[in-house]
């Protein structure tokens, strides 16, 4: 499965390079900062989901190239802003110094802004899809990345810090901060392939289950792994008093929850039959991450 992720990663990185301002010796600090964070070697999980969703709906994965790039730009912007000193104050991301550590806070804020902005420009390149006009796709991206989902989740996450939390609050934060962007990656990929409405509904349910599984596993890894293995600061959640599932339910129950969500995600895929193969293998790969 690593190979599907690797192939997706190569495809999305090649495309991102064509969508972004070129990085030559005359490139501005801003453009260097955008490239720095975007090409810092993430897993490219969301682009892989967009490609696999297009395939699951009977289309060619390449149809989802603009959706995949747009979602990855939004994801990277959100990481840059989350890492800022006034938010999670993180020095390491994907094994490298965070954007503001290299370029300073002001440029990091602006590089994030520019990646968010270019995401909408890139989504304009999505192929015409009979069932899903661009209007609808732009709206879906804006809603998922907006104040009720991605950004709202970040605020909720910060506000929960150091407070008494519950499993349902943690779930709400995971839904907004993590699952919403995975769901929209899948939906936009599917829309690019002119998915049937039932396929879109199925992929939404899958995205939610996968997002919850993924974030729960991430929180578990933060407790159990070393910084070297994670590529970012370890044990950070506990020190920051973050609301996490292991924090609320303990490691063992959190592990069971992660398996439950993963199982649910896999079950959701059944009606897709063989076309859901890439999504299934991606999910199984995520579950196999050591935790």
Return left, alpha or beta for 95; rule: phi > 0 is left, psi -120 to 50 is alpha, else beta.
Answer: left
The nearer residue to a copy of itself, 1 or 138, going by C-beta atoms, is 138
- Compute the half-sphere exposure of residue 74: CA atoms within 13 Å on the CB side of its CA: 31
Task: Among 14, 22, 41, 139, indicate the residue that binds a copy of itself (CB under 8 A).
Answer: 139
Task: Among 63, 114, 193, 265, indicate the residue that binds a copy of itself (CB under 8 A).
Answer: 114
- CB-based contacts of 57: which residues, under 8 Å, 6+ apart? 190, 193, 194, 195, 196, 199, 203, 275
| 22 lies in the site for a copy of itself, by CB under 8 A | no
The nearer residue to a copy of itself, 32 or 43, going by C-beta atoms, is 32
| 113 lies in the site for a copy of itself, by CB under 8 A | yes
Task: Among 2, 6, 91, 124, indicate the residue that binds a copy of itself (CB under 8 A).
Answer: 124
- Contact code string over 52-91 relative to a copy of itself, x by CB under 8 A: -------------------------x---x--x-xx----
d(CA 247, CA 241): 9
| 270 lies in the site for a copy of itself, by CB under 8 A | no
**Site for a copy of itself (CB under 8 A): how many residues?**
46
d(CA 144, CA 76): 15
Q: How far is the CB of 258 from a copy of itself (least distance, A)?
A: 28
| 18 lies in the site for a copy of itself, by CB under 8 A | no
- Contact code string over 151-190 relative to a copy of itself, x by CB under 8 A: xx-xxx-xx-------------------------------
| 23 lies in the site for a copy of itself, by CB under 8 A | no
Instruction: State how beta strands 92-93 and 96-97 pair.
Output: antiparallel
CB 237 within 8 A of CB 247: yes
Q: How far is the CB of 57 from a copy of itself (least distance, A)?
A: 22
- By CB under 8 A, name the binding residues for a copy of itself: 21, 28-31, 34, 77, 81, 84, 86-87, 104-107, 109-110, 112-114, 116-118, 120-121, 123-124, 133-135, 138-139, 141-143, 145-148, 151-152, 154-156, 158-159
């Amino acid at each position: 499965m690593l190979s599907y992720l690797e192939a997706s990663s190569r495809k999305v990185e090649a495309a991102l390079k064509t969508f972004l301002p070129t990085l030559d010796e005359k490139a501005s600090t801003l453009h260097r900062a955008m490239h720095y964070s975007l090409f810092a070697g993430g897993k490219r999980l969301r682009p892989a989901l967009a490609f696999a969703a297009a395939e699951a709906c009977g289309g060619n994965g390449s149809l989802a190239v603009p959706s995949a790039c747009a979602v990855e730009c939004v994801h990277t912007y959100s990481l840059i802003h989350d890492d800022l000193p006034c938010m999670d104050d993180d020095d390491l991301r994907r094994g490298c110094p965070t954007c503001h550590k290299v370029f300073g806070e002001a440029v990091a804020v602006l590089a994030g802004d520019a990646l968010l902005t270019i995401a909408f420009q890139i989504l304009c390149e999505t192929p015409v899809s009979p069932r899903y006009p661009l209007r609808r796709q732009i709206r879906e991206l804006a809603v998922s990345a907006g104040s009720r989902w991605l950004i709202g989740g970040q605020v909720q996450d910060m506000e929960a810090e150091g407070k008494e939390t519950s499993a349902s609050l943690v779930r709400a934060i995971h839904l907004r901060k993590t699952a919403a962007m995975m769901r929209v990656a899948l939906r936009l990929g599917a829309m690019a392939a002119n998915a049937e409405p039932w396929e879109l509904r199925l992929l939404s349910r899958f995205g939610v289950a996968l997002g919850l599984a993924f974030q729960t596993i991430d929180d578990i890894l933060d407790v159990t792994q070393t910084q070297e293995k994670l590529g970012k600061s370890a044990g950070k959640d506990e020190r920051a008093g973050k609301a996490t599932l292991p924090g609320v339910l303990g490691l063992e129950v959190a592990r069971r929850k992660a398996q439950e969500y993963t199982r649910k995600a896999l079950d959701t895929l059944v009606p897709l039959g063989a076309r859901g193969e890439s999504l299934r293998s991606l999910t199984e790969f995520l579950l196999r991450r050591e935790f």
